[in-house]
Chain A
């Protein structure tokens, strides 16, 4: 926790985005997390991604569950709407927000406990529905708020601060997502914003559920020798060979100059993701190959990062449900709720 607010010093001619806003316009209150927490870097990366894409700050819904990671929405984009929901239920609340107002940019921030333990069922079904949102898991392998017990993402053999090894297998959100039909799967590292920011931008531009697993070390309970989610361990075992760039719709397009080694995927909104330096034969749209790549790299003790899987074909929740193009809360009451006569007619059809 810091003792003073960030001084708003008019020192720099800060860069402005297309809305004429500076990065400061996307900031929230000062972090109350432990000094050095990886989550603060995730916050800073989200802030930079929102600013970089010129998303109007008030158009963002920021939602979270309970936990250290779930405190972070407080620390970015003060103009956005949102709240800490129930533990593990952020995905459900976010689905509701996305259903009611399809114009919102929904950003959910959760942790490995909130998403992979108590909230696993909620996460699974939001993935299946392909709710259009950015879902960030700030993954540190421990329950930091309750003093460092292993979480569901802790690796076998990873040691606690007191030296005890974890014996249970980890839930890998990437493999989980792949098995459930996720359409956007990426992994980043809080200590590497150069990679994380483009991933978050791509996730925000994606037309469905964008699941981003961010290894975000807990400096207090999981940054020691023997941990597999410490700054040092991740730096020594990170595989960055799936390097991805995002080119927003407004970015300059030089498609004819795209080198042959680059795989290109167009996103829903017309922006494009360029995959470069991918391992030979890697196709980010081939679910089977991506799955085996993830299993193999995990077996080698490597942490594969980057934009790992992308599917732009699967319809999102609104398309699946054939909802109207307008936002539900813009609909006149009579259309949104056609009355008991209409209900009776509908029920009669099902008898």
Chain B
């Protein structure tokens, strides 16, 4: 056969003129970061897939230190984290059950060898800068963790006699043993933090006059919400109506050691779960958690609800509290409206009234910020009576050098957010003390490195493990209530751990594409088990249309669509629906030109005085 000049061919098959292709910028660290759903969802951006891999290799200490770098308290969080990573987990979209990320974190903590070599150390010389932190909770401790190695003198004022803040006072010991708490906090305090126990700061004005270079407020959201109903303030002898977080604190410090037989908990957040389970351990037998709305609207994490129900707590829905019933100067019960909700649970109809007898009521309907010690005539502005004006990026208030973090900043969140606030505040404090504008944030960096070891060999396990999520072993119900501080969850054993680590889909091992190498042989498209790849002509009107034109329609709009540059032979483009990709690497295995590669994405996160780096 003769050859036709290319020009003649072009004449035979004229091509439409196309709009510029919206090529995906994979050099932007946020693109691949977003594909790692767990890491993206984590406020502190913990490198989850990598630590799971390290656990799989038995490198528990390394896994612990990798965790600690971003979340500071792996042992504590491995038991108590709110786990924003798990609802985000890709595995949840595949078989309905997320990888037990939090539990694996605890494995790293439980089984770690001595990791002293990898823990932060105070700088040998102080830099002469002094930072005051209010409250010794996770936010302040993180600030100290980040600043002590830089030579700062950090002073923490704590009104209690022990450090930890909410982690100690509000999380019962049967969920978080004091020893775990003490150990991880000691790492920070032992760097030489000047901690002043039993010291309550009474005035911001006075604190500001004490000559610190920066002030960090990490005092939490310490006021439990009141339930103003008839009977609440009636004259009674001994009160049997308690504010949840105060009551938990009293238990933590040994001031409360019993409760009545019949206990009502008002509210269904995680604090309510801790209250009902604590009641069970203090002598409560008939314990009911009273909810106004149906179950799907509960604020408590599903696993905490399950734990409570397993311990015999009743969850009662559609009951709105009406009044406390006080008879003869004593609380005898509560009256509730039984309600029915419309769709979406916006409006309710009252069906009737019911009286439930009880000995104690615990109010766990949320908590508020309270800053009675911050004078309102300072230049420190408030956005509401409870909340100071705090910048979401820098954590700085309207007074330069005064920063907020944790629950004090934007209201009650959780430990992992407090840690992230602490990291960001530490960066700001460091900038502030060095005369750099606090808004000047150090950049994140990224690295992609191939995991290819041979023709079909990768330095990660790419096969799909069909195991279901592993169950956590718990102390037998008969023994569980023997001691108030008996930890319920036993942690994963070697078998559960081995199975659970293999459930991880390795989202950090990215399917990385190089368009110039592609010969459009279709091998990747044919082999992809989830049909997430498509080669299309780039003539779609918008992304919405593109999403309908793929081999499998891309219906999850929260997940990105990758669009390559034009392919050399036909000018079409490779499109990947990140939602479906399970990172099995088959596309790269079947690619004859290595246009597809499996490459590990590493995110470099900057911390105070330590620019982002990837090894």
Chain A residues positioned under 8 Å from B93 (CB to CB): 11
Q: In the bound complex, do residue B1 and residue A36 qualify as a contact, i.e. CB atoms below 8 Å apart?
A: no
Chain B residues positioned under 8 Å from A9 (CB to CB): 94-95, 464, 529-530, 582
Complex CA–CA separation, A317 to B87 (angstroms): 62
Q: Is A305 interfacial (CB-CB < 8 Å)?
A: no
Q: In the bound complex, do residue A231 and residue B569 qualify as a contact, i.e. CB atoms below 8 Å apart?
A: yes
* Nearest Cβ on chain A to B99's Cβ, whole angstroms: 15
* Nearest Cβ on chain B to A297's Cβ, whole angstroms: 10
Closest residue to A158 on the B side, CB-wise?
B1
Q: In the bound complex, do residue B592 and residue A43 qualify as a contact, i.e. CB atoms below 8 Å apart?
A: no
Closest residue to B6 on the A side, CB-wise?
A236
Q: In the bound complex, do residue A44 and residue B530 qualify as a contact, i.e. CB atoms below 8 Å apart?
A: no
Q: A4-B586, A6-B586, A235-B570 are in contact. Are A300 and B4 (CB under 8 A)?
A: yes
Among residues 1 to 26 in chain B, which have CB atoms less than 8 Å away from a CB atom of chain A? 1-4, 6, 9, 12-13
Q: Mark A292-308, 1 if CB is under 8 A from B, else 0.
A: 00000011111000000
Q: In the bound complex, do residue A11 and residue B590 qualify as a contact, i.e. CB atoms below 8 Å apart?
A: no
Q: Is B285 interfacial (CB-CB < 8 Å)?
A: no
Q: In the bound complex, do residue A239 and residue B12 qualify as a contact, i.e. CB atoms below 8 Å apart?
A: yes
Q: Is A54 interfacial (CB-CB < 8 Å)?
A: no
Question: Which one, B77-85, B472-480, B515-523, is touching chain A?
Answer: B515-523
Complex CA–CA separation, A35 to B582 (angstroms): 20
Complex CA–CA separation, A1 to B589 (angstroms): 8
Q: A1-B456, A301-B4, A302-B4 are in contact. Are A7 and B521 (CB under 8 A)?
A: no
Complex CA–CA separation, A2 to B456 (angstroms): 6
Among residues 525 to 548 in chain B, which have CB atoms less than 8 Å away from a CB atom of chain A? 525-527, 529-531
Q: In the bound complex, do residue A236 and residue B521 qualify as a contact, i.e. CB atoms below 8 Å apart?
A: no
Q: How many residues of A contact B (CB 8 A)?
A: 46
Q: Is A228 interfacial (CB-CB < 8 Å)?
A: yes
Complex CA–CA separation, A239 to B13 (angstroms): 8
Complex CA–CA separation, A47 to B81 (angstroms): 47
Complex CA–CA separation, A223 to B6 (angstroms): 18
Q: In the bound complex, do residue B9 and residue A35 qualify as a contact, i.e. CB atoms below 8 Å apart?
A: no
Complex CA–CA separation, A38 to B523 (angstroms): 8
Closest residue to B465 on the A side, CB-wise?
A7
Chain B residues positioned under 8 Å from A228 (CB to CB): 1
Complex CA–CA separation, A335 to B519 (angstroms): 57
Q: Is A316 interfacial (CB-CB < 8 Å)?
A: no
Q: In the bound complex, do residue B463 and residue A7 qualify as a contact, i.e. CB atoms below 8 Å apart?
A: yes
Q: Is A20 interfacial (CB-CB < 8 Å)?
A: no
Q: In the bound complex, do residue B529 and residue A8 qualify as a contact, i.e. CB atoms below 8 Å apart?
A: yes
Q: A12-B531, A301-B2 are in contact. Are A35 and B580 (CB under 8 A)?
A: no
Q: Is B584 interfacial (CB-CB < 8 Å)?
A: yes
Complex CA–CA separation, A14 to B342 (angstroms): 35
* Nearest Cβ on chain B to A29's Cβ, whole angstroms: 12
Q: Is B457 interfacial (CB-CB < 8 Å)?
A: yes
Complex CA–CA separation, A72 to B437 (angstroms): 65
Q: In the bound complex, do residue A217 and residue B580 qualify as a contact, i.e. CB atoms below 8 Å apart?
A: no
Chain A residues positioned under 8 Å from B527 (CB to CB): 2, 6, 31, 40
Chain A residues positioned under 8 Å from B94 (CB to CB): 9-11
Q: In the bound complex, do residue A301 and residue B1 qualify as a contact, i.e. CB atoms below 8 Å apart?
A: yes
**Which residue of B519, B580, B590 contacts A12 across the interface (Cβ within 8 Å)?**
B580
Among residues 451 to 470 in chain B, which have CB atoms less than 8 Å away from a CB atom of chain A? 455-458, 462-464, 466
Q: A217-B521, A228-B1, A301-B2 are in contact. Are A3 and B457 (CB under 8 A)?
A: yes
Q: Is A183 interfacial (CB-CB < 8 Å)?
A: no
Q: Which of B1, B6, B591 has the most CB of A within 10 A?
A: B1
Complex CA–CA separation, A37 to B527 (angstroms): 12
Complex CA–CA separation, A44 to B523 (angstroms): 9
**Which residue of B4, B455, B552, B592 contacts A36 across the interface (Cβ within 8 Å)?**
B592
* Nearest Cβ on chain B to A175's Cβ, whole angstroms: 13
* Nearest Cβ on chain B to A221's Cβ, whole angstroms: 12
Q: Is A34 interfacial (CB-CB < 8 Å)?
A: yes
Name A's interface SS.
Answer: loop
Q: In the bound complex, do residue A7 and residue B582 qualify as a contact, i.e. CB atoms below 8 Å apart?
A: yes
Chain A residues positioned under 8 Å from B570 (CB to CB): 235
Q: Is B593 interfacial (CB-CB < 8 Å)?
A: yes
Q: In the bound complex, do residue B592 and residue A40 qualify as a contact, i.e. CB atoms below 8 Å apart?
A: no
Q: A35-B589, A36-B523, A156-B1 are in contact. Are A12 and B530 (CB under 8 A)?
A: yes
**Which residue of A156, A235, A239 contacts B569 across the interface (Cβ within 8 Å)?**
A235
* Nearest Cβ on chain B to A64's Cβ, whole angstroms: 19
Closest residue to B457 on the A side, CB-wise?
A3
Complex CA–CA separation, A34 to B593 (angstroms): 11
Among residues 13 to 49 in chain A, which have CB atoms less than 8 Å away from a CB atom of chain B? 31, 34-38, 40-41, 43-44
* Nearest Cβ on chain B to A322's Cβ, whole angstroms: 43
Among residues 483 to 526 in chain B, which have CB atoms less than 8 Å away from a CB atom of chain A? 519-523, 525-526
Complex CA–CA separation, A228 to B521 (angstroms): 16
Chain B residues positioned under 8 Å from A219 (CB to CB): 519, 521, 592
Q: In the bound complex, do residue B526 and residue A6 qualify as a contact, i.e. CB atoms below 8 Å apart?
A: no
Chain A residues positioned under 8 Å from B520 (CB to CB): 191, 231, 235
Complex CA–CA separation, A235 to B523 (angstroms): 17
Chain A residues positioned under 8 Å from B466 (CB to CB): 8
Chain B residues positioned under 8 Å from A34 (CB to CB): 592
**Which residue of B457, B526, B569, B589 contacts A41 across the interface (Cβ within 8 Å)?**
B526
Q: Mark A200-231, 1 if CB is under 8 A from B, else 0.
A: 00000000000000000101100100001001
Q: Is A157 interfacial (CB-CB < 8 Å)?
A: yes
Q: Is A318 interfacial (CB-CB < 8 Å)?
A: no
Complex CA–CA separation, A159 to B162 (angstroms): 82
Among residues 38 to 81 in chain A, which have CB atoms less than 8 Å away from a CB atom of chain B? 38, 40-41, 43-44
* Nearest Cβ on chain B to A169's Cβ, whole angstroms: 10
Q: A35-B590, A36-B591 are in contact. Are A298 and B1 (CB under 8 A)?
A: yes
Chain A residues positioned under 8 Å from B9 (CB to CB): 236-237
Q: Is A115 interfacial (CB-CB < 8 Å)?
A: no
Among residues 572 to 603 in chain B, which have CB atoms less than 8 Å away from a CB atom of chain A? 580, 582, 584, 586, 589-593
Complex CA–CA separation, A237 to B458 (angstroms): 38
* Nearest Cβ on chain B to A138's Cβ, whole angstroms: 13
Q: Is A128 interfacial (CB-CB < 8 Å)?
A: no
Q: Is A232 interfacial (CB-CB < 8 Å)?
A: yes
Chain B residues positioned under 8 Å from A3 (CB to CB): 456-458, 462-463, 589
Q: Is A276 interfacial (CB-CB < 8 Å)?
A: no
Complex CA–CA separation, A240 to B463 (angstroms): 40
**Which residue of B2, B3, B552, B590 contacts A2 across the interface (Cβ within 8 Å)?**
B590
Q: In the bound complex, do residue B463 and residue A36 qualify as a contact, i.e. CB atoms below 8 Å apart?
A: no
Among residues 298 to 345 in chain A, which have CB atoms less than 8 Å away from a CB atom of chain B? 298-302
Chain B residues positioned under 8 Å from A1 (CB to CB): 455-456
* Nearest Cβ on chain A to B392's Cβ, whole angstroms: 35
* Nearest Cβ on chain A to B542's Cβ, whole angstroms: 23
Q: Is A155 interfacial (CB-CB < 8 Å)?
A: yes
Chain B residues positioned under 8 Å from A190 (CB to CB): 521-522
9 A–B pairs (Cβ distance < 8 Å), ordered by A: A1-B456, A2-B589, A11-B94, A12-B531, A12-B580, A36-B593, A37-B592, A44-B525, A191-B521
Q: Which residues of B contact A (CB under 8 A)?
A: 1-4, 6, 9, 12-13, 93-95, 455-458, 462-464, 466, 519-523, 525-527, 529-531, 552, 569-570, 580, 582, 584, 586, 589-593
Q: Which residues of A contact B (CB under 8 A)?
A: 1-12, 31, 34-38, 40-41, 43-44, 155-158, 190-191, 193, 217, 219-220, 223, 228, 231-232, 235-237, 239-240, 298-302
- Known A1-B456, A7-B584; 17 more pairs at CB < 8 Å: A2-B456, A2-B589, A2-B590, A3-B458, A5-B463, A6-B586, A7-B464, A8-B464, A8-B466, A12-B531, A12-B552, A40-B590, A43-B526, A155-B1, A223-B519, A239-B12, A301-B4
